[in-house]
Amino acid sequence: MTKKTILDVSVENKRVLVRCDFNVPLDDAGEITDDLRIRAAVPTIQYLLEHGAAVILCSHLGRPKGKIVESLRLDPVAARLSEQLGVTVKKVNEVVGEAAAAAALSMRPGDVLLLENTRFEPGDEKNDPDLSRKLAALADLYVNDAFGAAHRAHASTAGVAAFLPAVSGLLMGREIEVLGKALEAPERPLVVILGGAKISDKIGVIENLLTKADRILIGGGMANTFFAARGYEMGDSLVEQDAISTAADLLARAGSILVLPEDVVLADAFSAQANAKVSLPDKVEPGWRILDIGPKTAELYERLIAGAGTVIWNGPMGVFELEPFAKGTFAVARALAASHAMTIVGGGDSAAAVQESGVADSIGHISTGGGASLEFLEGIELPGVAVLEDK
């Protein structure tokens, strides 16, 4: 998949509308607690500014559901972005309208304008052509740099491309390049590590990767449903009863590609203060639940990662937010950091895990999109990518 990026087009003296992912976490006081997504957008914005563009930024924040929610205005983003860029980011209190149009028209090369939260407009999530047209009227070129929202067919992520030339930003381009190569032409062996609570979230991913991966290592709560499919008693462990037959089918078709934990860590309560013990997965007693992979499994996964040419990781190995049950997840994070393979970490909890374990700088690529990277791995065409011009 080769899409045009900002490197392939002229941006000089153009007003460029950039869809970013500024959906950052805020505390109760409205302060940004993690500005990773803002920092990730800076290279694209700086490139555009250095090449003579006026830059109009837009993004969603939270889930206001088409209504104005004061606590979800983008003013904190404008302030933090001004610090990051070293230039004043002007903010308008609307997405489209007279004020936004006037601000855009008055821009000169080097100016940066931030529109209000796109989801204050009910037409954004509905991919309303009228909103798309009004957004497009602000600019000469559309750039999508919001991989984290690329799996949504919204006005600001896809619809606007019907009215403007559309290319990817540097962040989006990197995501497409890295994930695309990992699926289509990976250095082998290709080892995929899948965790998280539910198998139902990743059935499509497993289906697609069974034909591409050399090994798929399973952890987290989703492993319990596979164990249940083998007929093991799971005690109080999380099991998706309606996915057991699907898990059995995947096991039957996967052969040696699908690797389940050899041992697990049990707890007698969902608590950091619970009693815990290592057990075989078929020895879970009533009142106990699986909350992490065990030490033998961690060693096995570390060996498979060490021998890989490409590693993709999406989803934690256990309840890593509870310290006694974080060992498996952090062991995988450290194994990726020590690997000579191309290492790719999906968004969300896996990205948080590599940050918390202090190895983020040693990972080849940390995706900014949890849901988007999952759908990409599933082989689904992402609306926000599909609308971009091909090279």
CA–centroid distance for 59 within its chain: 16
Cα separation, 169 vs 388, whole angstroms: 10
Of 196, 220, 318, 348, which residue is the catalytic one? Answer: 348
- Identify the structural domains of the chain with CATH numbers, from first to last: 6-171 (3.40.50.1260), 179-378 (3.40.50.1260)
Give the residue ranges of the chain where pLDDT is below 50.
none
Other CB atoms within 10 Å distance of the CB of residue 242: 9
List the alpha helices (DSSP H) in 185-294: 203-209, 222-229, 244-254
Locate 381 and state its tokens.
């065409």
Query: Cα–chain-centroid distance for residue 247?
Result: 25
The whole-angstrom separation of Cα 207 and Cα 378 is 8
C-beta of residue 345 within 8 angstroms of C-beta of residue 313: yes
Model confidence pLDDT, tens digit, residues 187-209: 999 999 999 988 988 999 999 99
Contact 316, 196 (CB under 8 A): yes
Quick check: helix, strand or coil at residue 320? coil
DSSP structure class, residue 382: P
Q: Identify whether the C-beta of residue 170 lies closer than 8 Å to the C-beta of residue 6.
A: yes
110 annotated active-site: no
Active-site residue among 14, 15, 37, 80? 37
What pLDDT is recorded for position 2? 84
- Alpha-carbon distances of 337 from 73, 294, 370, rounded to whole Å: 37, 20, 20
Active site residue 283: no
Annotation marks residue 37 as catalytic: yes
pLDDT at 351: 87
> Which residue out of 62, 97, 307, 371 is catalytically annotated?
371
Give the pLDDT of residue 1. 58
Residue 50, burial from CB neighbour count under 10 angstroms (0-12, 13-18, 19+):
exposed
Instruction: Give the C-alpha separation, 359 to 353, whole Å.
Output: 9
Strand partners, 276: 267
Tokens of 65: 């559901």
Length of the chain: 391
Give per-residue burial for 341-370: e unless 16+ CB within 10 Å, then b: bbbbbbbbbbbbbbbebebbeebbbbbbbb
- Whether 198 sits among the annotated catalytic residues: the reply is yes
**Of residues 90, 133, 198, 296, which has the active-site annotation?**
198
